[in-house]
Amino acid sequence: MIALRPFKSLASRRSIQATRIGAASFSSSSPFASPKTKSGRTVVSSCPAGTPLTNLSILKDKPDPVALPDDQYPAWLWTLLEDTSKAHKAQENAVHLTQEGGSGFNVQAEKKKLKNLNRQNIKATNYLKSTA
C-alpha cells in the first residue's frame, strides 16, 4: 500500500522555499560606497554637489537635475571612467620579463620572431604536402 502525504507537509515545504527565495544575500558594503577605481584612487566628480545640470532633463515638464554629493552615486558609475580598451588591458596584464643577464626582454621582437618561425613552418609543411 502506498503511503500518502498530507497536504499540510506540502504547504509547509512551499512556505520554506518561499522564505529561502525571499531571503537574499546582500554584501556588507553599501551600494553607494565612496567612489574608487581599481587602482585605489578616489574619483572626484567634475561639478560640486548642488550644481544644476542644465539641458540634462529627459522629461519635458521637469526641472533640470541637480548634482548630488559623490558618495550618493552608485559605485559602478565611477568604473565608467576606466579605460577598457584591449591595448590598455594588455599593458596592465603585461609581464615584465628579463633574461638571466639582467638585460631587458623585448616582447615585440620575440613576437615577430615567433610569427616568422610559424610562417616558415607552415610554408614547409604546405610544400611537403604538395610534393607528396
Q: Alpha-carbon distance 62 to 10, whole Å?
A: 51
Domain residue extents for the chain? 43-81, 82-94+106-131
126 compared with 4, residue with greater pLDDT: 126
The pLDDT score that the predictor gives to residue 33 is 53
91 compared with 121, residue with greater pLDDT: 121
16 compared with 50, residue with greater pLDDT: 50
Q: Alpha-carbon distance 45 to 48, whole Å?
A: 7
pTM here?
A: 0.37
Burial of 78 from C-beta contacts in 10 A (0-12 / 13-18 / 19+): buried
Asked if 34 and 42 count as a contact pair (C-beta separation under 8 A), the reply is: yes
pLDDT in tens, 15-38: 444 444 444 444 445 555 555 555
Place of cell 620579463: 97
51 compared with 90, residue with greater pLDDT: 51
Asked if 49 and 67 count as a contact pair (C-beta separation under 8 A), the reply is: yes
116 compared with 106, residue with greater pLDDT: 116
Q: Is the pLDDT of residue 7 over 60?
A: no
The pLDDT score that the predictor gives to residue 27 is 46
Query: Which amino acid type is present at position 21?
Result: I
pLDDT in tens, 55-95: 888 888 899 999 999 899 898 888 887 777 877 777 766 66
Asked if 53 and 65 count as a contact pair (C-beta separation under 8 A), the reply is: yes
Q: Identify the CA nearest to 50 among candidates 34, 65, 61, 63.
A: 65
The pLDDT score that the predictor gives to residue 123 is 93
